[in-house]
Structures are given as structure tokens and as C-alpha cells.
Amino acid sequence: MNGFPFRKAVARLTVFALLSSGGPAWAVLTSVPLTASGQPLANQTVTITFPDGTTQEEETDDKGILLFDFPGDGKYRISHNGVLIKTLDIGTGGGWSTGQMVAGGLVLIGGGIALGNSGGGGGSSSTPDPDPGTDPGTDPGTDPGTDPGTDPGTDPGTDPGTDPGTDPGTDPGTDPGTDPGTDPGTDPGTDPGTDPGTDPPGPTVLSVPNTEFALVHQQGEDSCPQPFPGELQIANTGESDLAYDLADPGPLVILTGATSGTLAPGASVNLTSAFSCEGFTVGNNAAGAAVEGEDVPTSTSVGSVAVSWDVEVLAPVPEPGEFAFSPAGSPNLQKTHVIGGSPCPDPFPAFAITNVGGSPIEFMVTAAPSFLNTPNPSSGTLAPGEVRSINTAFRCDGFNMGLNTGQLVIETEDPDSSASTGGGQVNYQLTVSN
């Protein structure tokens, strides 16, 4: 088989079988010499890319020759390890570059023998067939020696590994890590942050974020003491120790917490305050105090901050008035009148009414028996806790001989809202005789 692999021989026999079957069959059997860097590409796997983009892998023989049946016209590309090494144009224009056409016969390339049937009288001939794959003189396209552009291994200009001029690792002049003269981090003389001798701490700063406190106090409803909303914070936002002192705001305010002391930089203290329910008047009340600050290292004042407390005190909301008899309970008044022997008008015992509530009430007699004269008083105002006597008398008219009965009715109301504040009745029993 002249060195071709066995499966290549099988491929050629397959072509022969097709040709012997009768009708003409067409195929292109091509012997392609392949080289890389001027050397035959012997016993290597190459990739053939078909005109439609599909690929197939084949192997060269020990002389670097690829034997392959190209199935049709078009441009075929042969690559090795991803590098294009040859392009073949089959059946386009000038025929094929290194192949042979077979029509009704067989071409054996590499053995030097060509068998063919020209389609005439069935004659045969035996002539040596030159090996175009080994004739570099007539195939300039396969001469790698004239294509220096595809040989990256001989281009020292693109080899950065041999250019010491661009190697920063061996250039101590541009290495800031080995240049102590330009390294401020290792120069304590120019680093004020790490030189306590040349960088004294800054002054202390007194800070009081919340300086105004206020509340409304309703007498009789709100608690005593009554806390002010929020906290009084005293803080040191400077760089030195702070001594502070909060003055006494007076009897109106109760302070809870340290009113004096020393605060380190960044430290703070919180105090609470409350209305004491002492030393006030109904209406607006105010108190104030100052927080003094001093820089401890220098014993110098850093100023003061004024704090104020405002309290609006509302008078107690009075309880509503409430009617009652005094003593409690509905009175029962009795009397016997003797005609000609008793006076006219003839008085009944007096009864009393009172206001047991917290606000004034107004009273009025709204009904009375016909035998009574007008009660005295029949209306008026009762202050909280006030007791008032009401007098009534038999008027010697509007009666019947014998027993007479009736009720006197009293009603009361709030003078501002006209809401009822209660009422009651007095029971009368009168006996008239001769």
C-alpha cells in the first residue's frame, strides 16, 4: 500500500467498487502533502473544514501526506492544532489543486499506477503518475518557506519575555517600596498624627443639644411631680476632658442625675427633669439654669449653655354642682290649722336645701300645693357647700275642711350649661278644723 494506512486502502477500494457497478461515479481523491515550520506533518491528526462549515478529523501518514476523498466542489480548509495550514479549491475554475478526477475508474495515488476507463473501447493503460504533493516547485501555495508571516517563533520583536527594559521588577529606581526617602509612612518626623510631642489634643467642647423643656399641668388631674418630656444631655464633643456644672433651676424643677462632673472626649451624661408642683401660680411659670464648662488641661472656661423650663398651670376643673336637702332626704311637713284660733298665714316648719357639688347651681320651685303661699325664696343660686332655708305657710285659702295634702317640687341646673343638677320634693299634710 506504499505506506498508506489500511483504512485509506479500504476507501480506495470503495471507490473502485462504485466504479465497477456500471454507471459513472464521480469523486475527488486527493493526496495532500502537509508541512508545519518546513517539516512534514507526519502521523498527525488534522481537521478538515467543509464548505458548509462542518468538520472532520483525519490522519496523515508517516510522510506527512493526507489522502482524502473530497465529496464535492468547494473550498476546503485543513488545520492542525487550530492553525490553518492549507486551503483547497475543488472543482472551481481551474480544477483542483493537488487532486485527480476519477470517472468510471480508479486512481491510486502514491503507488504510481492509474487505472481508468475513458468511456471508449474498454482499453487500459499503465503510466506512472507523478506525486504533485511532493513537488514544491510547482505548488507555491504549499511552500511555507516563503510565508514568514505565519512563523511567530522567529519574530523576536514580539517576545516580551526577552525585553529586560520593560521589566519593572528589576528596576529598583522605580520601586517605591525600597525608597525610604519617599515613604512618608516611615518618616516620623513628617507624620504629625503619630508625634504626640508636636500634636497636642484640641480643646474641649461643651454640647447641650436640648435646651428648652415645656409642659402643661392640669391641677387635680396630672401627677405631681410631672416629668418634662425628653432628657437633658450634657456632652463633650472636643478632644480634652470637660468639667461641667449645672446650676440649680429653683423650686419649680426637680433634676435627677449628675449635675456636675468630668466628661472624657466623646462622653456624655443624661439628666431628667420634672415639674415639682411647688412654687407656682395658675398660668405660666418659668425657670432656668446655666451649664458651665471648663477645659480641664488648661483650666479655662469654654462657655456656658442656658437651659429653660416652662410650665403652664391650669386651674382645677371644678366638679359639677349637685342639689340635696339638708338634712338629706325629702322633708315631710305637717300642720293643723284651727279656724279662728290659728294665725293666717299659718307657717309650716322651714326646710333647707344645699349644694354638695363643686360648682354653683341655680334652684327654682316649679310646683306647690294650692293652699301654700309663695315659698321664700322660690329661686336663687347655691354656691358649692351653701345651705339655704326655704319658708312656706298655709295661706288660709284654697283648702278643704279636714285633711289636705300636696307636694312642693324644686329643680336645679348648672348656670353655664343649663344641665340638670338634681331636684326633690317636699311633702305637705294640712288638717283644717273649726
| Same domain flag for 239 and 337 | no
- Position 92 scores a pLDDT of 56
Q: Which set of grid coordinates corresponds to residue 134?
A: 511532493
Do 249 and 280 share a structural domain? yes
Residue 145 has a pLDDT of 43
How are beta strands 300-314 and 212-218 bridged, if at all? parallel
Residue 33: cis peptide before it, omega within 30 degrees of 0:
no
- Position 198 scores a pLDDT of 61
Cα distances (angstroms) measured from residue 244 to each of 186, 249, 320: 41, 15, 51
Where the chain has pLDDT below 70, the residues are 1-29, 92-198
234 and 363 inside one domain? no
**Total domain count, the chain:** 3
83 part of a folded domain: yes
SS3 292: strand
Same domain membership, residue 134 and residue 10: yes
Instruction: Tell me the pTM.
Output: 0.40
Same domain assignment for residues 259 and 298: yes
Cell numbers for 319: 366638679
The verdict on 20 and 138 lying in the same domain is yes
Same-domain status, 13 and 144: yes
| Domain's final residue, options 255, 281, 314 | 314
Please indicate, yes or no, whether residues 293 and 388 belong to a single structural domain of this protein.
Answer: no
- Considering the domain architecture, whether residues 304 and 348 belong to the same structural domain is answered as no
Does 140 reside within a domain? yes
Question: Do 15 and 121 belong to one domain?
Answer: yes
Pairing of strands 332-338, 420-433: parallel
**Of 314, 338, 353, at which residue does a domain stop?**
314
Same domain, 264 and 352: no
pLDDT of residue 194: 54
CATH classification of the domain holding 403? 2.60.40.10
Boundary of a domain, candidates 148, 170, 190: 148
**51 in a structural domain:** yes
Residues 285 and 381 in one domain: no
Identify the burial level of 330 via C-beta atoms within 10 angstroms of its C-beta, where 0-12 means exposed, 13-18 middle and 19 or more buried: exposed
Q: Range of 112's domain?
A: 6-148
